Amino acid sequence: MKFGVGIPHETGGDLNLVIDYAKKAEKGGFDFVVMADHVFFENEVFTTLTAIATKTERIRLIPFALDGNRRDPATLAHMTATLDRLSGGRLTLGIGKGVWNEAYYGFEVREPVSRMEETIQLLKRFWAEDEVSHSSRFFKFNKAKSLKAKPLQEPHPPIWVAAFGERMLGIALSLGDGFITQNMPPRLFKRSLEDIQARKKGRDSAIEAVYGCMPFAIAENREDARRLIEPSARSFLVRHARRLCPALGYDEPWLKPEDVPREAVDECFVFGTSRDVESRVEEYRKAGVSYFVFQQVLPLGFESLEMLSEVVARFR
């Protein structure tokens, strides 16, 4: 299993703190750093990962996950190819249909999943072809000359698709190198992995199983860690209640955060002491997780990162 950690997105504008965090993650044995793609974050994802690339040597760089509808495919292909070359081939592209950024688009997206799927298809063409012509209800390119500089990785940087529902899992299988999911118990992750493995008939290559944990908390006392994650955890479970409640065995979806039972938080989130975290991550490893992402580490700061590095070291 490989491990990634999310870089802080609230630093008071101090980009040096972000870079130092990534450098300490690299030194601490993490395989990759991730950053979500939201307009309301202090720093933009590609600019930030480029800055990190110039100050690190080994650690991979992953938008986790990119808003697949906020940038046109040609621009996105140019940005990703540049980052891949500048970093020495360390980019993995996590991509999804986008969420929470729609007010900043400046245009309406009626079919976000279909548009994102076509964006991935066009990305691969711009990365590989010398000239791209394409016409659809989403995009029109007429003999668009492709990139002067292609990505360093061949045939292209790995693509991980954020996939919760059936359709997104299908896109991950047809266009991706991995699928991303988050905040579900190991037994449900195992079920999702078994489903996707059963559906990958005719596919030559393997598909990576990526699990994101957000938020995550580590502390000397389990209850202290619980208090750190509980507000965000309960809000997440309410937003995804229609999907998760039946799978978890609850008859009715939760309508308010206070409706979410304590047991559901325990089952869907990772938190606690170092030993608690180690034991829980082992459950996900046994369920088939290839890449484990501590996407938002609480409490914020280098001390938590150091504690987590010790946990990761025990899996080596």
Contact assessment for residue 65 and residue 180, using Cβ atoms and an 8 Å cutoff: yes
Can you give the residue ranges of every domain in the chain?
2-218+289-313
What pLDDT sits at residue 149?
83
Contact assessment for residue 118 and residue 133, using Cβ atoms and an 8 Å cutoff: no
Residue by residue, DSSP assigns 73-106 as: HHHHHHHHHHHHHHTTS-B-EEEES--S-GGGTS
Beta strands in 183-290 (DSSP E): 208-213, 216-218, 271-272
DSSP type of residue 258: G
Beta strands in the chain (DSSP E): 2-6, 32-35, 60-63, 66-67, 93-96, 131-135, 140-145, 159-162, 178-182, 208-213, 216-218, 271-272, 291-294, 297-298
Work out whether strand 131-135 and strand 140-145 pair parallel, antiparallel, or are unpaired.
Answer: antiparallel
Class of domain 2-218+289-313: alpha beta
Instruction: For residues 137 and 251, give the distance between their C-alpha atoms in angstroms, rounded to a whole number.
Output: 41
Q: What is the pLDDT along the chain (316 residues), one digit of tens a residue?
A: 999 999 998 888 789 999 999 999 999 999 999 999 999 999 999 999 999 999 999 999 999 999 999 999 999 999 999 999 999 999 999 999 998 889 888 988 889 999 999 999 999 999 999 999 999 999 999 999 978 889 999 999 999 999 988 899 999 999 999 999 999 999 999 998 998 888 877 677 889 999 999 999 999 999 999 999 999 999 999 999 999 999 999 999 999 999 999 999 999 999 999 999 999 999 999 999 999 999 999 999 999 999 999 999 999 8
* Residue 146: closest CA among 133, 162, 165, 160: 133
What pLDDT sits at residue 274?
98
* Residue 297: closest CA among 222, 216, 237, 228: 216
Contact assessment for residue 180 and residue 277, using Cβ atoms and an 8 Å cutoff: no
CA 183-70-136 angle, to 5 degrees, is 115
- For tokens 């690299």, the residue is 26
Instruction: For residues 280 and 269, give the distance between their C-alpha atoms in angstroms, rounded to a whole number.
Output: 9
What pLDDT sits at residue 209?
96
